[in-house]
């Protein structure tokens, strides 16, 4: 049997943890496959889609191609269609099908960190990651507040309008990121504030943080952002983004070959991926 071929595509792609994570998942499932990295510019995308991507058994997609790929695919999963974003493609029997693993990866990461999506959930930011998180939190019955800067308010208002159109009776509001206060069941950072190399920054004040029961930060580099470290020092249940990255990859493999994994193997992979990131 020929070795299967997979890759992650983006531009610029830079250093990525995807090969390390996916190669381990292939080993765990016993699938003979190799996983590469492809830097494809927007201007070359349509040409490379035919010449490079179609022959692959599957691939992951990152910025800026998550929407660009959609019109080129034969099929798109319902969840990917709702979000208007594809980050995983399966090529099988000449048919290419797009999926998004962001929602399921997010939900799995919170589940295994015992972080609830209920009560008052404050999401920092209103970009692509925040959009996914807001949809999923509302679908779980949470009361969502998008905490944004004034410069992003119009973008947040557009997201609220979209959610109102797509979901039934959503509980969602917008607040200024510097003004929200009070008790928060779960605080989610979906901004790049605190990401390496600017890891000395924190998106909220210590006073705001002290009112939170749980904290999730989508950033995985550094492994523990200043926000996560401070939350833990206050005795708050807190989790960084590495587990979300790994669980997104797990869901990709389910789409590619139906593989399932033992939770302990995934927990070890999260730890090993964290160690690999530290080495880098």
Q: Which residues does the annotation mark as catalytic?
A: 66
**In 3D, which of 237, 180, 234, 176 has the Cα closest to residue 208?**
180
Identify whether 58 is preceded by a cis peptide bond (ω within 30 of 0).
no
Q: Could you identify the residue written with the tokens 């797509």? A: 166
CA end-to-end span of the chain, whole Å?
Answer: 34
- Residues 107-139 as b or e (16 or more Cβ within 10 Å = b): bbbbeebebbbeebbbbbbbebbbbbbbbbbbe
The DSSP H or E segment spanning 8 is strand 4-10
Task: Taking the CA atoms of 222, 112, 180 and 211 in sequence, report the sign of the dihedral they define.
Answer: negative
């Amino acid at each position: 049997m020929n070795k299967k071929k997979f890759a992650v595509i983006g531009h610029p792609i830079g250093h990525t943890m995807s090969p390390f994570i996916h190669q381990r998942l292939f080993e765990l499932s016993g699938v003979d496959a190799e996983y590469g990295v492809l830097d494809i510019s927007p201007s070359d995308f349509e040409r490379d889609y035919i010449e490079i991507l179609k022959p692959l058994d599957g691939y992951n997609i990152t910025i800026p191609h998550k929407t660009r790929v959609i019109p080129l695919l034969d099929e798109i999963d319902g969840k990917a269609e709702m979000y208007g974003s594809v980050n995983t493609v399966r090529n099988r029997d000449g048919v290419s099908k797009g999926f998004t693993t962001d929602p399921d990866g997010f939900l799995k990461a919170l589940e295994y960190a015992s972080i609830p999506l209920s009560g008052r959930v404050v999401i920092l930011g209103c970009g692509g990651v925040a959009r996914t998180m807001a949809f999923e939190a509302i679908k779980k019955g949470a009361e969502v507040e998008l905490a944004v800067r004034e410069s992003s308010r119009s973008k947040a208002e557009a997201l609220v309008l979209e959610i109102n159109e797509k979901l039934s009776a959503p509980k969602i509001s917008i607040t200024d990121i510097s003004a929200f206060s009070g008790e928060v069941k779960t605080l989610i950072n979906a901004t790049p504030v605190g990401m390496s190399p600017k890891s000395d920054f924190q998106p909220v004040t210590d006073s705001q943080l002290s009112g939170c029961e749980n904290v999730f930060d989508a950033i995985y580099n550094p492994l523990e952002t200043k926000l996560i470290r401070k939350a833990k020092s206050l005795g708050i249940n807190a989790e960084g983004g590495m587990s979300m990255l790994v669980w997104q990859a797990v869901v990709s493999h389910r789409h590619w070959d139906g593989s399932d994994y033992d939770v302990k193997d995934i927990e070890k992979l999260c730890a090993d991926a964290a160690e690999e990131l530290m080495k880098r």
